[in-house]
Amino acid sequence: MSTAISVLGGIGLFLLGMTIMTDGLKGLAGSSLRTVLSKAAATPISGALWGGLVTLLVQSSSATTMTTIGLVSAGLLTFPQGLSLVFGANVGTTGTGWLVALIGLRVSLSAYALPMIFVGALAKLMGKGRLASAGASIAGFALVLYGLTTLQQGMGGVAAALHPSDLPAVLGMPEVGRLSGWLGLLILVVVGAVMTTVMQSSTAAITVTLSAFYAGAIGLEQGCALIIGQNIGTATSSAMAAIGASATAKRLALAYILFKVIAALIAIVSFPFAMPLIRGAAEHLDGVSLLAAYHTAFNVVGVAVLMPAIKPFTRLVERLLPETRSALTRALDPAALDNPVVAIEAVRRTIALALQAMCPKIEAAILSDHADAAHSVAEPVEAVRQARDFISGISGPPDSESEGLRLTSTVHALDHMAWLAETAGEEPEFPIARDDEEERRAAALCVEAMRLAVAAVDDIAREAAFGAAAAPIESLETPAAGAALDRLEENARLLKQFKHAHRGPTLRKVGAGEINVEHALGRIETIRRLEALARHAWRAVAHLLGEADTQAK
């Protein structure tokens, strides 16, 4: 009974410590996690390397994966780039096994663990910001060490009651037939997968395997078989997490599952050839380190096999799970809300795409007396509404002043888009006096303003159409976009001047009997709407491209 309590308590302390440490490390990383990942995946190889490194540092493949989902959804990364990061995260997460093998099972740090827990908890409770995150990291790491010590004590009791011969024999063990060896291998692979599924942590399951081997409860080949299954078991967590998730999350989850299965199949097929090598290496190296190395090795091989075929692999995943959402709102992935910086970027892209879709419809409504503007802008209007709901889900204040200003400019742009949509949908027609040269000029200025707004955000629309990863919107301030924005501002100012100059003479025509009251008020209202459309389009683009001061309305 005491053995079971020690084993279960050790696993619980280990899981609790990993959770606290991971949260602390993510807090220390802050928005830099998004920055590093968005810049790291320039090539598939660099993406895999950085994905592994970041996962190793934050001790959480889920943190890397969820941030990657948000970046892909927001358009900052292509799906293949996101896959390279996820592949790297699979390798990086094996680093915890090395931590356990090289330190946790060899060096008794339990005497230092309790003081570390006290210091870390004190910093977490009394500190703020990075100090609190550092405290959580220290306390979590100490809990991991204390849990490993408790687990070791329990495994000593397990080793006294359990011998490797009590478990199924696998290929590579002495005097094992081929058929029985394959059967034993598959049984232990299934047992390993069940262990991970039950614990919801491959790291904890592999730690149990390493501790059991260190205590002599299992053999080297049996440990390798269990590790294969434990590596597959994480796929069940991804499958459950993908239920009800966005298309991007489902695609990355499917890719993650396929990667785990392919890596496991490679490990199983190569098992008869790998075991003699591992057995030979065991004469010079300790078995715990070999088990950790084996875990890393077959994940690295899986990445090496899939990386050259990442494009066809991507197309396969996309065919299996086609995108069903509107192109305008595709970036509004709930996974992006885990990182406010990414969520803001997703909203900005949605605004830009809605603007690019709405302006040509407004142009058509102005040029045709019978165009139904209220109906034609329905889709971009819905995109703006969803963007407003989405941005409301961002919780907590921005991490820095620059992020606060970025959020402010995004809300400004969203507000102007809402006004643009409302103005366009007020009336189905734009009754312009076609025989009045000045009113025709005003209509032409507004039409040109709509075209200039589209030109200013054209890079975003083009990248979205071809599925390429877009750069942050500030970097889209190209000379062409800047020139379009300057002309758009000039058109808006000219229409504002014309609106004020037009009202008086139009009303005087009523007194002179040239037009009736209803006609005069309709023409004044049309010019007001034309001016409002150009103004809101200009302000929305200006805030998107970072050219609007924070005091502008």
Note the pLDDT tens digit of each residue in 134-165: 888 788 777 777 776 676 566 555 555 555 66
**Token duo for residue 240:** 């459950």
What's the pLDDT band for 374 if we cut at 50, 70, 90?
A: very low
Outline where 93-177 has alpha helix (H). 95-99, 110-126, 129-161
Nearest to 431 by CA among 527, 504, 531: 527
Three-state DSSP class for residue 59: coil
Q: What is the pTM of this model?
A: 0.63
Q: What is the pLDDT of residue 373?
A: 47
Domain boundaries, the chain: 2-320, 334-544
**Token duo for residue 378:** 């329905």
The segment with the largest mean pLDDT, out of 64-68, 323-327, 501-505, is 501-505
Angle, CA 20 vertex, CA 14 and CA 26 arms, to 5° = 130
Residue 58: how many CB atoms within 10 A of its CB? Answer: 25
**334-544 has which fold?**
Methane Monooxygenase Hydroxylase; Chain G, domain 1 (1.20.58)
Note the pLDDT tens digit of each residue in 435-460: 677 788 888 999 999 999 988 887 65
Note the pLDDT tens digit of each residue in 28-58: 655 565 666 666 666 777 778 878 887 777 6
Across the range 199-221, mean pLDDT stands at 81
Buried b (16+ CB within 10 A) or exposed e, 258-274: bbbeebbebbbeebeeb
End-to-end CA distance of the chain: 70
What's the pLDDT band for 381 if we cut at 50, 70, 90?
A: confident
